[in-house]
A and B are shown apart, each in its own frame.
Chain A
Amino acid sequence: MTPSPSPRGDDGLDPVIHEASRLRLAAVLNECEAADFNFLLGVTGFTRGRLSSHMAKLTAAGYVAERKEFVGRMPHTEYRLTKAGRDAYAQYLRDWKKLTRPRTTRKGG
């Protein structure tokens, strides 16, 4: 089942990405396309629990595809930004720019 796109918040921003940690994770994954759990830990400096929970939310939203396998006895998890995730991230950045762009006021208009 394909997850439905997350509803927008009052400010028009995607609530899944509109969170500091998830925004960072989306930025990292968008840059390197796919990465495993340890790489993400190393780049972001998050704790394992924090990383797991945020990745779970991104996965549940359908923004990240997760692939789990065992290498020997150890689990190995690889994350990849889906097309929906890439689009959502790009859209979020566009929306953010729109929101933060200073509005021009015209005199006598």
Chain B
Amino acid sequence: MEQEHVAGSVETRNQPPDPSEAAAAKRETQRRLDMSRGVVAICTGGWGLAMAAVSLLYSGRVPGENVMLWCFGVLVLGIVVPMWLRRVRRHAGIPVGVAKGELSLKRPMRRVEALAMLAGVVFVVASAGLLSILPRMAARYTSGTTLGAVCLLMLIPLAWRGLRLHLWEHLFLAASFVISGVILVFLRDSNIGWALGTLGAGGLIAGLSLHLRWRRWVRSLPKEGTAANGENSVGETTASEGPA
């Protein structure tokens, strides 16, 4: 009854539907969600820079300790990033359900995201393996080309997403992957460190920019009890606001 009252209180004219508008709304949501993922890029970029520093310290050689550090970093990122992401999203009123949804394999759409996550894990593990094995086993040219090709592959999804969602940060990240790929193709002992450094710096800059965008947008959202968006000012608050 209450719902009927709400529906009846405001006149809504049925407008002809336009699926392109639905597509635009979907794109806008993806854009916002991508902005919230800036924290992922910040953490990964910081980790990349740390790995670059270690790698340069070891003069570009990749000893077993480096690979251990790499795997430890992945583990820490796997714990820290989801917690930070969840917190950041809760501030904008996207509840925990999103995180659950991303891990759910029941929905076809989420299956794509789960596959993307799996591909990311495979990418990291494969990179660790390649970084540790290739420079020892294969010729420099072969290992450089392989590592470079892995980086260049990342160009496609990042550039596509950047152009589609109008986020220059994705293009910037794609560019840093390309530069790293080119550096790795001309593999020398010290190049792995520089490639990691380029990736880390790219991730950090792109992540910070995305995160600032996200924060600006969250701050622009209507606050409790304001009539920022017109008509009846029903006090609504995001989950994070007010005393819990």
- Interface residues, chain A, with chain B CB atoms under 8 Å away: 17-21, 23-28, 30-39, 41-50, 52-54, 56-57, 59-60, 71-78, 80, 86, 93, 96
Q: Which residue of A lies closest to B225 (CB)?
A: A74
B23-31, B40-48, B49-57: which lies at the A interface? Answer: B23-31
What 16 additional pairs, Cβ within 8 angstroms, besides A52-B232, A72-B243? A20-B15, A20-B16, A21-B12, A23-B18, A24-B22, A31-B30, A34-B97, A39-B92, A42-B217, A52-B6, A52-B234, A53-B12, A56-B6, A60-B7, A72-B237, A75-B237
B221: Cβ under 8 A from any A Cβ: yes
A28 and B26 contacting across the interface, CB-CB below 8 Å: yes
Is the pair B6, A31 in contact by a Cβ cutoff of 8 Å?
no
- In angstroms, Cα B19 to Cα A60, docked, is 23
Min C-beta distance of B243 to chain A, whole Å: 5
- Name the A residues within 8 Å of B92 (CB-CB): 38-39, 42
Q: Which of B23, B29, B230 has the most CB of A within 10 A?
A: B29
The answer on a CB contact under 8 Å between B93 and A36 is yes
A60 to B5, CA, bound (A): 12
Docked-complex contact B231 and A56, CB < 8 angstroms: no
Interface size on B, residues (CB 8 A): 56
Q: Given the interface contacts A24-B21, A38-B221, A46-B229, does A59 sit within 8 Å of B97 by beta carbon?
A: no
Could you pull out 20 A-B pairs where Cβ atoms are within 8 angstroms? A21-B12, A21-B15, A32-B98, A34-B94, A34-B95, A38-B92, A39-B238, A44-B25, A46-B229, A48-B229, A48-B231, A48-B234, A49-B9, A50-B10, A53-B12, A56-B4, A71-B242, A74-B236, A76-B239, A78-B93
CB distance from A75 to the nearest CB of B (A): 6
CB of A43 within 8 A of CB of B17, answer no
Is B233 interfacial (CB-CB < 8 Å)? yes
Known contacts A33-B98, A33-B101, A48-B229; A43 and B235 CB within 8 A of each other: no
Whether, in the assembled complex, B222 has its beta carbon less than 8 Å from a beta carbon of chain A, the answer is yes
Residue pair B242, A43 in contact (C-beta under 8 Å): no
B12–A50 CB distance below 8 A: yes
